[in-house]
């Protein structure tokens, strides 16, 4: 019936549809502008590069497609009654601009999208920000308004008062449960070479997204160059990377991998010098992708991703081996199809696993312990374009999430093991949202998200509403409101400075599903191509939050490890993206208030930062400066007010009786004030990134230098009370308060890339 209606509707006019892609590599271009010259008929591509112009009267037109950084496409077409023209458009990139950065904000998106609290980044932006050894997506997102980093090395995202476990992180539609696991949490699992773009929704996100209370990070990897074989190899102080992409018959492929290599260097030295040294740690990750297009309207994409951190210690003398591994792995198959000119659909089947393994083995005994989160997802999504005033998105998602754990011990005489039955919640969610262009200045997007959660047979409906009102030509009002539910929580504290990974668990029958309500109101100012100013206020109210206790049990007893609370967060975010002559960059400022209430006590969690200011500026060094001419320089500076902490009010002796020696001894115990009574001093830091393109023997490449904490400012992350100077032996009574900083020095790093 749907297709019949669509068919009858299309008889009186014509339709033009197709994809807009980058002519140099075949990558689809989302939100490109497509219109018929001299008419008011126009649209933009969806996030997969698909467009449709419908209800086009019979006649001859000139179709135009444009996208920032690309040459404009223009061609004549003829529309007949009832005709459907498929026109796939390839845009040629313009020669490299002085700015050197391809910004992703575009006029069409400003005009037509209803997406409050959204920021997007391209790969070049991710790579341009000064880096702590490695370019890292999460570190870039920490520079966005509303996002708090707890300290200089943090790789967690505290977004608008939400803890990291309240963020939905997607990699090509696959849920990533632990996105920051590399090098004990210092680096994320997203290899920047493989990332095409990333979008952050810091609040008020539409019905298409759900399952988390606070924010969404949607990361898309590159499609793979369908025009020619290309590659990039790079090496830095931490990892070496390789990216290969190219065409295959009717499609393309991409492979990207990286690995730390210091363990190999140390191993090589130990062999050459004949000394017994080793570095028992490394990490690696990789992404592979194959696209196959059997016809113009069909595309199959297989993707695989995997990565792991490994600590492996062997003692040859005692024949003992200790191994600890953790990581993400996943695979997906996606089928995209233009089912009808007005109906674009795709179906995704994905399997992902986050695993941890610890094992010990000696001649006498062995022990192992492990946990897995295995996520099976089936997810059809559709875009339906019933008229030029409506874009309806709907879809479903079925998930089976398996939480399993085990331990085994095997000694000379005994073998013990425990494999408790896995916890397996099922979810079935559906969403329906309609972007309705009421008139050229007012867009609304109502939506509903339906959730069924198998533990406790719970059913929920989360309504959402987005609105955009262009009250001036270049100024729009953004509004978003919605209800959000979450059915997975973590058992480890989200307020700790470091955690390698989170221990997830499904909400059990004894607890209500945590719920949040968002309201967002802001102004968006279009300044120019790729330039905009947004000012947004938000309020977020939480109910039935499940917060880990201070000494949680990670295995089997989630109910006993969680306490129930509520809270709110409120604030104001300002974001300005601007170019000025040869300068480009952005400024973000956030004012935030976050409170939690547990057992009747209200407090500010440790990530409640009041003011957060970031500035990123980039430019190209003028030609008159030797050696560095045309090199790209990027600077980042931040200033942030201090985080709350529980200060020590007093100390007292904690005695113990030694039954063997028949005497007492003591150490100092402390009485703390309330957990948010004090705040650390403000922190600030300047980082620098310098990159210059080079050509050696016909091979293009670049070198780069980064310096983190250029002026070596010590940002205080905690106070340590010192009773003795370990160097001089001098004792202090009263003890001295010593400031502890993670980055007390300027940290330089460098690397090279080659492209072929």
| Interface with other proteins (CB under 8 A) | 413, 550-551, 572, 591, 593, 610-611, 646-657, 659-660, 664, 666, 669-675, 677-679, 721, 733-735, 737
Minimal distance in Å, beta carbon 728 to other proteins? 19
Minimal distance in Å, beta carbon 258 to other proteins? 38
- Asked if residues 123 and 143 have their Cβ atoms less than 8 Å apart, the reply is no
Minimal distance in Å, beta carbon 282 to other proteins? 32
**What is the β-pairing status of strands 663-672 and 648-658?**
antiparallel
Q: Output 254 or 591, the one with its CB closest to other proteins.
A: 591
Minimal distance in Å, beta carbon 150 to other proteins? 15
Q: Where is 232: in which H helix or E strand?
A: strand 230-235
Closest CA to 501 of 691, 370, 692: 370
Minimal distance in Å, beta carbon 675 to other proteins? 4
218 exposed, middle or buried (CB, 10 Å; 0-12, 13-18, 19+)?
Answer: buried
Q: Output 271 or 660, the one with its CB closest to other proteins.
A: 660
Minimal distance in Å, beta carbon 599 to other proteins? 12
Q: Output 581 or 660, the one with its CB closest to other proteins.
A: 660
Q: CA-to-CA distance for 276 and 270, rounded, in angstroms?
A: 6
Minimal distance in Å, beta carbon 167 to other proteins? 23
Tokens of 350: 């994905």
Q: CA-to-CA distance for 28 and 89, rounded, in angstroms?
A: 10
Minimal distance in Å, beta carbon 727 to other proteins? 22
Q: Output 667 or 697, the one with its CB closest to other proteins.
A: 667
Minimal distance in Å, beta carbon 730 to other proteins? 14
Q: Output 331 or 362, the one with its CB closest to other proteins.
A: 362
Q: Output 399 or 540, the one with its CB closest to other proteins.
A: 540
Q: Output 651 or 755, the one with its CB closest to other proteins.
A: 651
Q: Where is 40: in which H helix or E strand?
A: none
Q: Output 666 or 711, the one with its CB closest to other proteins.
A: 666
Residue with tokens 């600890």: 324
Residue with tokens 């996002």: 147
Q: Output 549 or 630, the one with its CB closest to other proteins.
A: 549
Q: CA-to-CA distance for 104 and 529, rounded, in angstroms?
A: 9
Tokens of 184: 């004990």
Closest CA to 522 of 483, 468, 570: 468
Q: Output 335 or 721, the one with its CB closest to other proteins.
A: 721
**What is the β-pairing status of strands 215-221 and 230-235?**
unpaired
Rounded to 5°, the CA angle 100-106-109 comes to 155
Tokens of 406: 């085990």
Minimal distance in Å, beta carbon 635 to other proteins? 23
Minimal distance in Å, beta carbon 738 to other proteins? 13
Minimal distance in Å, beta carbon 656 to other proteins? 8
Q: Output 162 or 571, the one with its CB closest to other proteins.
A: 571
Please, how many CA atoms are within 13 Å of residue 104, restricted to the half-sphere of its CB? 18
* Other residues' Cβ atoms within 10 Å of the Cβ of residue 537: 14
Q: CA-to-CA distance for 689 and 628, rounded, in angstroms?
A: 13
Q: Output 374 or 546, the one with its CB closest to other proteins.
A: 546
Q: CA-to-CA distance for 247 and 287, rounded, in angstroms?
A: 17
Q: Output 229 or 670, the one with its CB closest to other proteins.
A: 670
Q: CA-to-CA distance for 445 and 124, rounded, in angstroms?
A: 31
Tokens of 10: 């299309």
- Asked if residues 314 and 279 have their Cβ atoms less than 8 Å apart, the reply is no
DSSP string over 71-97: PPEEEEEEE-TT-EEE--EEEPBPSPP
Q: Output 250 or 651, the one with its CB closest to other proteins.
A: 651
Q: Output 439 or 551, the one with its CB closest to other proteins.
A: 551
Q: Output 557 or 652, the one with its CB closest to other proteins.
A: 652
Minimal distance in Å, beta carbon 19 to other proteins? 43
Q: CA-to-CA distance for 642 and 679, rounded, in angstroms?
A: 5
- Asked if residues 706 and 115 have their Cβ atoms less than 8 Å apart, the reply is no
Give Cα 24 to chain centroid, integer Å.
27
User: Looking at the DSSP assignment, which residues form a beta bridge with residue 119?
Assistant: 200
Q: Tell me which DSSP letter residue 32 carries.
A: -
- Asked if residues 476 and 470 have their Cβ atoms less than 8 Å apart, the reply is yes
Does residue 103 sit in helix, strand or coil?
Answer: coil
Minimal distance in Å, beta carbon 572 to other proteins? 7
- Asked if residues 506 and 455 have their Cβ atoms less than 8 Å apart, the reply is yes
Minimal distance in Å, beta carbon 733 to other proteins? 5
- Asked if residues 514 and 92 have their Cβ atoms less than 8 Å apart, the reply is no
**What are the phi and psi torsion angles at 265 (to 5°)?**
-65, -45
Give Cα 292 to chain centroid, integer Å.
27
Minimal distance in Å, beta carbon 498 to other proteins? 17
Closest CA to 489 of 508, 517, 473, 466: 508
Q: CA-to-CA distance for 154 and 498, rounded, in angstroms?
A: 7
Q: What does each C-alpha distance from 571 to 138, 202, 483, 593 come to in angstroms? A: 22, 12, 18, 6
């Amino acid at each position: 019936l749907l297709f019949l209606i669509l068919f009858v509707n299309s008889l009186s006019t014509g339709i033009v549809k197709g994809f807009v892609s980058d002519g140099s590599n075949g990558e689809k271009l989302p939100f490109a502008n497509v219109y018929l010259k001299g008419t008011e008929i126009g649209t933009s591509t969806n996030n997969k590069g698909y467009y449709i112009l419908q209800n086009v009267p019979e006649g001859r037109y000139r179709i135009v497609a444009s996208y920032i950084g690309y040459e404009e496409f223009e061609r004549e077409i003829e529309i007949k009654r009832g005709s459907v023209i498929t026109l796939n458009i390839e845009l040629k990139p313009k020669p490299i601009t002085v700015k050197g950065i391809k910004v992703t904000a575009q006029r069409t998106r400003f005009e037509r999208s209803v997406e409050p609290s959204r920021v997007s980044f391209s790969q070049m932006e991710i790579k341009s920000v000064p880096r702590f050894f490695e370019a890292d997506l999460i570190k870039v997102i920490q520079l966005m308004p509303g996002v708090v980093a707890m300290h200089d090395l943090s790789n967690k995202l505290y977004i608008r008062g939400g803890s990291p476990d309240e963020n939905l992180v997607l990699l090509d539609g696959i849920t990533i449960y632990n996105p920051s696991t590399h090098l004990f949490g210092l680096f994320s699992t997203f290899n920047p070479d493989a990332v095409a773009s990333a979008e952050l929704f810091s609040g008020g996100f539409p019905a298409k997204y759900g399952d988390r209370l606070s924010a969404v990070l949607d990361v898309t990897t590159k499609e793979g160059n369908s025009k020619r074989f290309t590659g990039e190899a790079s090496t830095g102080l931490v990892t070496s990377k390789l990216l290969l992409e190219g065409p295959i018959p009717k499609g393309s492929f991409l492979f990207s991998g990286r690995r730390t290599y210091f363990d190999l260097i140390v191993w090589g030295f130990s062999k050459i010098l004949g000394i017994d040294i080793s570095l028992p740690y490394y990490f690696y990750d990789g992404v592979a992708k194959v696209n196959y297009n059997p016809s113009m309207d069909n595309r199959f994409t297989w993707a695989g991703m995997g990565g792991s951190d490994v600590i492996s210690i062997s003692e040859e003398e005692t024949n003992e081996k200790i191994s600890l591994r953790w990581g993400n792995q996943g695979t997906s198959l996606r089928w995209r199809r233009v089912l009808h000119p007005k109906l674009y659909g795709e179906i995704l089947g994905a399997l992902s696993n986050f695993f941890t393994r610890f094992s010990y083995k000696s001649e006498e005994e062995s022990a192992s312990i492990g946990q897995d989160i295995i996520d099976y997802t089936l997810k059809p999504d559709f875009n339906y374009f019933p008229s030029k005033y409506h874009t309806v998105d709907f879809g479903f998602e079925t998930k089976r999430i398996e939480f399993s754990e085990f331990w085994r011990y095997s000694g000379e005489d005994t073998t013990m093991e425990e494999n408790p039955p896995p916890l397996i919640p099922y979810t079935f969610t559906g969403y329906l949202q309609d972007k309705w262009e009421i008139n050229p200045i007012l867009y609304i997007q109502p939506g509903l998200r339906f959730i069924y959660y198998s533990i406790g047979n719970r059913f929920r409906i989360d309504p959402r509403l987005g609105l955009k009102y262009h009250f001036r030509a270049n100024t729009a009002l953004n509004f978003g409101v919605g209800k959000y539910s979450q059915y997975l929580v973590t058992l480890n504290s989200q307020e700790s400075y470091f955690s390698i990974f989170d221990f997830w668990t499904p909400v059990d029958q004894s607890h209500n599903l945590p719920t949040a309500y968002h309201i967002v109101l802001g102004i968006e100012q279009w300044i120019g191509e790729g330039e905009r100013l947004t000012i947004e206020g938000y309020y977020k109210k939480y109910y039935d939050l499940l917060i880990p206790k201070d000494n949680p049990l990670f295995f089997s007893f989630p109910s006993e490890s969680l306490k129930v609370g509520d809270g709110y967060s409120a604030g104001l975010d300002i974001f300005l993206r601007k170019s000025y002559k040869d300068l480009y960059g952005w400024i973000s400022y956030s004012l935030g208030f976050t409170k939690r209430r547990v057992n009747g006590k209200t407090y500010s969690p440790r990530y409640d930062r009041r003011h957060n200011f970031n500035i990123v500026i980039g430019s190209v060094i003028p030609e008159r400066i030797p050696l560095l001419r045309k090199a790209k320089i990027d600077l980042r500076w931040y200033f942030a007010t201090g985080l709350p902490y529980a200060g020590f009010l007093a100390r007292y002796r904690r005695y113990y009786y030694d039954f063997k020696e028949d005497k007492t001894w003591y150490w100092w115990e402390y009485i703390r004030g309330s957990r948010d009574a004090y705040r650390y001093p403000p922190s600030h830091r300047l980082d620098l990134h310098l990159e210059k393109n080079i050509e050696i023997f016909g091979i293009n490449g670049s070198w780069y230098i980064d310096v983190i904490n250029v002026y070596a400012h010590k940002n205080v992350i905690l106070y340590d009370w010192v009773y003795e100077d370990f160097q001089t032996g001098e004792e202090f009574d009263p003890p001295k308060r010593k400031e502890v900083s993670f980055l007390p020095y300027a940290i330089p790093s460098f690397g090279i890339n080659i492209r072929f």
